[in-house]
Amino acid sequence: MRVSFKTLGCRLNQAETATMEAQFQAAGYDVTRFGSPCDVVVIHGCTVTQNAEKESARLVRTARNQPGGKPVVVLAGCPAVVQAAHGNTERDGQADLLAPHGLKFSLPAIIHERFSIGDKPPPAPKHVVPRFSTVRARVKVQDGCNCRCAYCVVPAARGSSVSRPFQEIVDEVEALGNAGYREIILTGANLGCYSDGKRRLVDLLKALESVKPVQRIRLSSIEPATDENDVIDFMASSGKLCRHLHIPLQTGDDSLLSLMGRCYTTAEFRRIVEHMAANPGCTGLGTDLIAGLPGESGNSFEATYKFVEDLPFSNLHVFPYSKRPHTRAAAMDGQVASTVRKERATRLIELGRSKKDKFARGLIGRKVSILIENADANGFAAGWTSEYVWAAVPGADLRRNQIVSGIAKCVDNGILIADRVAQLQSRN
């Protein structure tokens, strides 16, 4: 039996797909490339934006019409939740099975029972060690969100905040380290809200610091006004936490922050950035920005542009506002025209390119560590630095999953070029 997966959206989705793959493998399936002949296709979709939702539906149609037989097509994750909320059935979306979050980790058994594919699988293992196609493993530590921001569909799609048990996460990270992964990315719908009893995200990071096989720990994204200041303080002394944080801003206009239900002001966000700047262990700073939120006037946008321009961001994740069902913003007055949203997003994207280049050039002359992901025909090996900059070093002898250090010397076409210093760690 063969199964293929296609994943859209966030790192949380990617972490969950890896778990689903491991469960299918435990049930006797071979995981094959998406588009190749198989018995089951799982589209792990996204509904954060209208484009992502449309792409999820398109992939379902593609899977149904792929050559080599008629596989069972599953639409899993947030789009399945939203479709069910609308009263849609599998037939409406052309999928054979809708698998919202409560079902997607029981798929082998459900598919056997409903479609009589393969033998009855053994009970799904309570804990599985997923495998990843990249050198960086993603670990889900938390799901859901209690914030209820006006524009965001995540609470409707994923529910309220729930955290995984502390020791379960530590055990999974240790197992992934023993399996050869050198960098672990912690991910969640609202990562900064992680808690298990009195233990918070920073306590989890301190525990993971002692997991010997793992050389790096990276955070996917952490919301303002959660646990970010304690994380910043811990980063200064940590030997493993990557020197990069991604803290979503969304808009740099206080009236819009209030209207959207965000729990901070621009002054409070600035203080977080100043706290990072005063900490020698913190360097890279990414953020999310939404262009054209309901109520965003020309002056509001210019305030956002100026605010972002003034702060030392190293990368910007920008997209135009997308009206989402089951959100307050969808019914608000002051909806911004699509063309204006796209124009504003384009300006912010261009600003992001400039900031990304400036940050990379600011690393010139400094020592950087690079986790090798690939090598090219010119004898260079490349990967991400701790600061989340794509970098290359000479190294025809280097292999994937080695961490090497180098001295950054220049930026070429957006790539940081470094002279190699020493190899730090290689995969067993």
**Three-state SS letters, the chain:** CEEEEEECCCHHHHHHHHHHHHHHHHCCCEEECCCCCCCEEEEEECCCCHHHHHHHHHHHHHHHCCCCCCCEEEEEEHHHHHHHHCCCCHHHHCCCEEECCCCHHHHHHHHHHHHCCCCCCCCCCCCCCCCCCCCEEEEEEEECCCCCCCCCCHHHHHCCCEECCHHHHHHHHHHHHHCCCCEEEEEECCHHHCEECCEEHHHHHHHHCCCCCCCEEEECCCCCCCCHHHHHHHHHHCCCECCEEECCCECCCHHHHHHCCCCCCHHHHHHHHHHHHCCCCCCEEEEEEEECCCCCCHHHHHHHHHHHHHCCCCEEEEEECCCCCCCHHHHCCCCCCHHHHHHHHHHHHHHHHHHHHHHHHHCCCCEEEEEEEEECCCCEEEEEECCCCEEEEECCCCCCCCEEEEEEEEEECCEEEEEEEEEEECCC
Under 8 Å between Cβ of 261 and 148: yes
Q: Which residues pair with 391 in a beta bridge?
A: 383, 416
| pLDDT for residue 70 | 87
**pLDDT beyond 80 at 90:** no
**pLDDT beyond 80 at 282:** no
Sign of CA dihedral 115, 119, 123, 124: negative
134 pLDDT tier (thresholds 50, 70, 90) = confident
Could you give phi then psi for residue 354, rounded to 5 degrees? -65, -45
Under 8 Å between Cβ of 45 and 58: no
**pLDDT beyond 60 at 43:** yes
423 pLDDT tier (thresholds 50, 70, 90) = low
| pLDDT for residue 428 | 42
- The pLDDT tens digits for 202-232 are 999 999 999 999 999 999 999 999 999 999 9
**What is the number of other CB atoms lying within 10 angstroms of the CB of residue 421?**
14
Pairing of the two strands 30-32 and 40-45:
unpaired
- The pLDDT tens digits for 160-194 are 999 999 999 999 999 999 999 999 999 999 999 99
- The pLDDT tens digits for 332-365 are 999 999 999 999 999 999 999 999 999 999 999 9
Q: Which residue has the tokens 């196609």?
A: 133
**pLDDT beyond 80 at 125:** no
Exposure of 188 in the CB half-sphere (CA atoms within 13 A): 24
- The pLDDT tens digits for 385-411 are 999 999 999 987 888 899 999 999 999
Complete domains list, the chain, with CATH: 2-115 (3.40.50.12160), 136-362 (3.80.30.20), 367-425 (2.40.50.140)
- Alpha-carbon gap, residue 342 to 59, rounded angstroms: 25
Sign of CA dihedral 24, 185, 350, 302: positive
Q: Which residue has the tokens 């209030």?
A: 258
| pLDDT for residue 86 | 66
| pLDDT for residue 250 | 98
Ramachandran sector of residue 250 (left: φ over 0; alpha: ψ -120 to 50; beta: rest):
left
Mean pLDDT rounded to a whole number for the chain = 91
| pLDDT for residue 283 | 86
